[in-house]
Structure formats: C-alpha cells, structure tokens
Amino acid sequence: MLVWLALTLASNPAIAQTTTSYSNTATGTISETATTCASPMVRNFTVAANAQVTDVNIGVQFTHSYRGDIRATLVSPSGTVVDLITNVGTSANNLNVLFDDSAAASITAHSTNDNTAAAPPYQRIFRPEGSLASFNGQGSTGTWQLTICDSLNSDSGNFTRTDLTLTTVPIAPSADLSLTKSVSNASPAPGASINYILSVTNASGSALTASGVTVQDTLPAGFTFTSASGFGSYNSTTGVWTVGSIPPGTTRTLTITGNVTATAGASVTNIAEINASSAFDFDSIPGNGAAGEDDYDTASFTVSGTRAAGTPPTLVCPVGTTMHDWDGVAWAAGTTSGTYALTAIGTMNFNIGISGGAFLNNATYGGQSPTRQNVVTGGFTPAQFSIFEIADFTSQAGAITSTISLPTAVPGVQFRVFDIDYAAGQFADRLTVTGSFNGSPVTPTLTNGVSNYVIGNSAYGDATSADGSGNGNVVVTFAAPVDTIVITYGSHSLAPADPGQQGAAIHDILFCRPTTNLTIVKTSSVVSDPTNGTADPKAIPGATMRYCILVTNNGSGTATGINVADALPANTTFTPGSLRSGTSCAGAATVEDDNASGADESDPFGASIGGTTVAATATTLAPGNALAIAFDVTVN
C-alpha cells in the first residue's frame, strides 16, 4: 500500500529524485515455531515503476519479549540481501526502529526496550548491521521482501508494521550488457589444450555506449593458463578482462587458452561476470555475484579418459628426513589431540576437530573415533597403522579438520590419506589440504588415486575403495617451507543432503629436516657532507656515511649462534654511539652501545666495535626473520 509520495530535486536540477514509501501492516505471530529461520515471516512490498535506486530506508515494528531472539533482513528484487538486525538486545523487548545508513549509531548498540506506540514515526533510528547502500544502483521494480525469524526458544511476539522508503532517479540513458561464456571441449582428455570463449554484448536497443567495462574471470583450479587473444587485455593473475567501451549493437570477444591439469573424471566449472561498467543496466548489477542476471555465466568441462593412480612428486630433502610413523606411537581411542617428538625438528602438535556432525564409535575400526587402527590400510602389506576419522555428518557442510603445527618450518612434507572415495546415496568424500609458512599460504600438490580425482588442492571421491585397497589413496606433497598443515575432510556435491557414515585415515608423515639459509647484504648511503649538508650530500672528506648490514634467514630452520664481522672501509673513522639494531635497515633504531657486554647485547641483537671491526650477534634467527645493524663513519 502506497503511503506517501514526495518529489525533490538533486543537486543537479536536471535529475529529479523521487522518494516513495510502501507499507505492509499484515500482522502475525513471531515465535520459534511460527517463524523459524528455515521458514521466516515474509512481508512483501510490490514496486511497479522501474527507476534506479539511490537510497533505501526501512522501518520495522513488532512486539517480542527478549528481542535477542530475532533476526531480520531486507531482500531486493535483484536478490541482494542486507542484514538489518541479528540477535541484538538480549533480554530487551520489542522493536520500533527506522533503519537508515545515515543514523549516528548502529543497531548493534541497541540494548533497551522499545515502546509499542503506533508508527510511523518510529521511536528510534539506527544503522542496520549490513549496508542499505548495497541496493544503490539497482532497479526498483519488483518485489522487495522483509524477512523476520525467531532463532531461539521460549519467547514470542506479534508483527505490527513495516515501511519501505525508496529514493530513486529515472532510468534515463542506459546500456543493456550481457555476458556469455563457453568452452571449446566439454570432455577434454587430461593435459589437453582447450579454450574458454567470453563475449560481452551491448544490446542494439541501448541508448548508451558502455565504457570502463571489465569482466572478472578467475580461472579455476584444474586449468592452467597459456595465452589469451581477442579484444582488450586479460590478466591471468587477477582474472580481469579489461574490455573498455562497447557501443550499442556491439559484441566484444575474448578467447582464453590453457591446458587441463585436473585428473580424469574431474568436473571443472569456470564463472565469469561483468564487474564494472560506466552505464546503468536495468536488468543486472556489475559484480554482485547474482547467477540469475544476464551479466553472469558459467562454463564447465568433465575430464575424459580412464583414470589411473597418479605419480606423486619426489620429495627432495637436502639434509635428510624425519618420519612420524603411527606404528610406533600411541593414540587413545576418542582422543582429539596429541604431541609427538620429531627428530631434528621438535615437538609436533596434532589436533582434530569436527563441525556439522559427530564422531562414531565403530568396533571394526578401533572403537571411538578418532582412533589409531590398521583395518583401512591403503593397500599396504603388512597392514600399517593410521589415524582413522569416521563420522556421521548431518549435511554436506559437515567437516573434520586436522591441524599439524610444527615448532619450526620444514622445507617439505609428504603423506597419504586413505579411503577418499564414494558410495552412491551414502557419501561422497572431499579432501582439501592447505598449509602456511609464517602466516602466508602454502599450497600442496595432491596426487589422485583410482577412486578420486584432483582439482587444485582438493580431491573428490567418485568411486568405491575397499578397506584394504589403495584405490582411495591421495598423496599430499608440500615442496616449499611449511609450518602448519590443515587437512579438511568432508563431502562434495555428489553426497546426499544427509550423508551417512564416512571416514578417512591419515597415514605416516615424512618431514624434510629444517635447513637454514642465511644471506647477507651490506648497503651504504651518504648522510651529510661539510659543503652540501644533508641536501644532495657527497662522499667527500668530512662526510658522514651510514652503513647497514642485513642478515636474512631464507631457510625453513631456526639459525642459532649468528656472528657477523665487518671491517671498516679504508680511510673512514667509526662514529662512536652510532650503532643501531633492528629487523630491517629502515627500522634499525634500537640503540646499541659500542662494547660487547650489557643488556643491549640481547635485545634481541647485539653489536659492538673493536678496533676497526664492527661485530653483530644474534642468539637465534627464525625462518623469514632478519637482523639489521646500522652504523655511521666519517670519511677521512
């Protein structure tokens, strides 16, 4: 029902803004049974006229004891969802609020009772949890929806009314852009070269030439880029196709060529979307991720051929290996964590967690999971022990996460995970492995078995593997320094909505022993001279020069007992009291006295001068860390 209509002028008098409000006063009960979050209360606003949205506000009023139970969202006709309020206010009662992005305070700060006086006007004004500006630029026509649900038990209330206010400008000149994407071969063989073909069209009936057009096409794992040709330019690193301008009735086309790296049976989907344009488009919004709009398209291929188990990379370890062998260590049934000593590395922490399901107690596989067992063997003879994780997940989103934390990085790791497979109507395994080094991501190579295929750092089961078979094996190889490994086991899209019992086993772990790799760089700069001062100084007699010695540990092991010696250049004199230390030349600001004793020798670095030699020391230098020592000299 239309309540009021107001007409105002924007700062540009040629463009009129229209503010229109719509009301919905259909009452109803709000409770954990009447309006669950799976089946929320929906209040619709039907907007007939099509215009471009520039601002959105919405008022919401209802009674409800314990307002912290409530969640509410606003959904546009284009499918954009903005969170208004999510379990805010704990035991406070009722809601009588106008949500407006320009409000001074966020709804998250609202902890007091609201009244039940008739609205509008609404008692309070707050910013929503999300941003209503997310709707700006969209077309107004269609059905807008307010959704409300009660997420907790015991309390209830009644919906009173809601008012949606849209500020719009006319959809004057616009462009109608659309995107199509196809693949040259939907069933390529492993290693084959294929093309993705993208086309962006500005409809012949468009009033505007669209400029600044870009397309986001991030290439999927399982496809390796080799070249691109066609209109504009494509950056395979960012995935952005810079198209530029597209006049009405014109199509721009790009061909992306690459090789199939996924294994036989793998299904690979590539998504592309227009993510920028200068012109308004009445039926799509650039970069909003809405699959139903015509500026968004996908192309898929399934790798053909008979699958064989892949050949894993050879792990190269310069100073030898350390094996964590489950045959020789203990793991009590049901335990979710353990610590183990690794020769030449230190203590490894192994932790297991589960979400969206529960570990099972199965006597066949060693009792309460997680457990150490040798029934699922990966085809090894004689049978070897591994840590078996068997669970009942309640949905495809359920997952078991195993985290390996090391005291120092190692230059490489390799291990097997058994039984990544599939059973129709029961389960469809997915294994994803990630790593990190000093907080930065490290991606492993996964090698498939006969019963699974690999895309990037994930393996997907699509055939059955028996307990004693190696068909379900996946080999994980890290060929770069890593200090944390995360193994996530769950389901993929072939699994039923409520998967049955499923499990996987983590076998022995081979670690490359850590190595250090110290590099040293010495730099110099002229600070000042007697003639020019600090303005473009020269290295003339009387000038002050600053030297910096930078030692960096580029290895995966912690270096210990570092000692550096540097003889002063000829014809220079050390400047007393100029020694400074730090972790970079620019950041070398910690004062070091000139002798080799005292607390400054371990803060955490030491520095001293003896005769004409500058010395620097560090007790330890962890992987990726650096020691910098700076000092001044006078040119004689």
| Separation in Å, CA 10 to CA 75, 168, 170, 341, 557 | 26, 10, 12, 70, 63
Per DSSP, the residues of 170-230 read ---S---EEEEEEES-SSPPTT-EEEEEEEEEE-TT-SS-EEEEEEE-PPPTTEEEEEEEE
d(CA 485, CA 181): 36
HSE, CB side, 13 Å, CA atoms: give it for residue 402. Answer: 23
d(CA 280, CA 278): 7
d(CA 263, CA 300): 15
Binned at pLDDT 50, 70 and 90, residue 15 comes out as low
**Residue-wise over 591-605: b if at least 16 C-beta within 10 A, else e?**
ebbbeeeeebbeeeb
Instruction: State residue 624's pLDDT score.
Output: 86
d(CA 602, CA 325): 39
Instruction: State residue 159's pLDDT score.
Output: 97
d(CA 589, CA 612): 22
The residue to which tokens 């395979």 are assigned: 236
Instruction: State residue 10's pLDDT score.
Output: 32
Is 50 exceeded by the pLDDT of residue 496? Answer: yes
Is 60 exceeded by the pLDDT of residue 115? Answer: yes
Radius of gyration over every alpha carbon of the chain, rounded to an integer in angstroms: 32
Instruction: State residue 361's pLDDT score.
Output: 97
Query: pLDDT (tens digit, 9 = 90+) per residue, 511-534?
Result: 999 999 999 999 999 999 999 999
| Separation in Å, CA 38 to CA 33, 44, 228, 393, 399 | 10, 18, 45, 19, 22
Fold of 518-635: Immunoglobulin-like (2.60.40)
C-alpha 14: how far from its chain's center? 44
d(CA 250, CA 199): 10
Query: pLDDT (tens digit, 9 = 90+) per residue, 580-629?
Result: 999 999 999 999 999 999 999 999 999 999 999 999 999 999 888 999 99
Residue 312 CB neighbour total at 10 angstroms: 17
Q: What is the DSSP letter of 21?
A: E
> Judging by beta carbons within 10 Å of its beta carbon (0-12, 13-18, 19+), is residue 611 exposed, middle or buried?
exposed
Residue 422 φ then ψ, to 5°: -155, 145
Domain residue spans in the chain? 2-169, 177-302, 321-512, 518-635
**Residue 258 corresponds to which tokens in the numbers above?**
């690459």
- Closest alpha carbon to 24 in 143, 123, 193, 131: 143
**Residue 35 corresponds to which tokens in the numbers above?**
């309006």
- Closest alpha carbon to 498 in 431, 427, 420: 427
Is 70 exceeded by the pLDDT of residue 310? Answer: yes
**Residue-wise over 243-270: b if at least 16 C-beta within 10 A, else e?**
bebbebebebebbbebebbbbbbbbbeb
**In this structure, which CATH number among 3.40.50.920, 1.10.540.10, 1.10.3130.10, 2.60.40.740 belongs to the domain 177-302?**
2.60.40.740
- Closest alpha carbon to 478 in 457, 492, 463: 457
d(CA 617, CA 614): 10
Query: pLDDT (tens digit, 9 = 90+) per residue, 192-222?
Result: 999 999 999 999 988 899 999 999 999 999 9
d(CA 162, CA 148): 11
> Which 3 state secondary structure label does DSSP give 617?
strand
Instruction: State residue 12's pLDDT score.
Output: 37
d(CA 48, CA 164): 14
d(CA 173, CA 221): 40
**Residue 9 corresponds to which tokens in the numbers above?**
């002028």
- Closest alpha carbon to 168 in 288, 42, 280, 293: 280
d(CA 303, CA 260): 8
- What is the amino acid identity at position 120? P
Is beta strand 28-31 parallel, antiparallel or unpaired with respect to 156-169? Answer: antiparallel
Query: What's the average model confidence in pLDDT over 477-504?
Result: 95
Is 60 exceeded by the pLDDT of residue 6? Answer: no
Query: What's the average model confidence in pLDDT over 86-108?
Result: 96
- Please give the mean pLDDT across all residues of the chain: 94
d(CA 501, CA 129): 39
Contact in structure between 458 and 424 (CB atoms under 8 Å) = no
d(CA 180, CA 174): 20
Domains 2-169 and 321-512 share a fold: yes
Instruction: State residue 16's pLDDT score.
Output: 73
Is 50 exceeded by the pLDDT of residue 576? Answer: yes
Residue 599 φ then ψ, to 5°: -65, -25
C-alpha 20: how far from its chain's center? 39
Query: What's the average model confidence in pLDDT over 276-299?
Result: 90
Is 60 exceeded by the pLDDT of residue 4? Answer: no
Is 50 exceeded by the pLDDT of residue 379? Answer: yes
Contact in structure between 622 and 409 (CB atoms under 8 Å) = no
Instruction: State residue 122's pLDDT score.
Output: 97
Global pTM reads 0.64
Binned at pLDDT 50, 70 and 90, residue 49 comes out as confident
* CA dihedral of 105, 108, 109, 110, whole degrees rounded to 10: 100
Instruction: State residue 153's pLDDT score.
Output: 86
Whole-number percent of the chain with pLDDT over 90? 88
Instruction: State residue 557's pLDDT score.
Output: 84
Q: Under 8 Å CB-to-CB from 176, ≥6 apart: which residues?
A: 202, 203, 205, 206, 281, 282, 283
**In this structure, which CATH number among 1.10.10, 2.60.120, 2.60.40, 1.10.1740 belongs to the domain 321-512?**
2.60.120
Give the homologous superfamily in CATH for domain 2-169.
Answer: Galactose-binding domain-like (2.60.120.260)
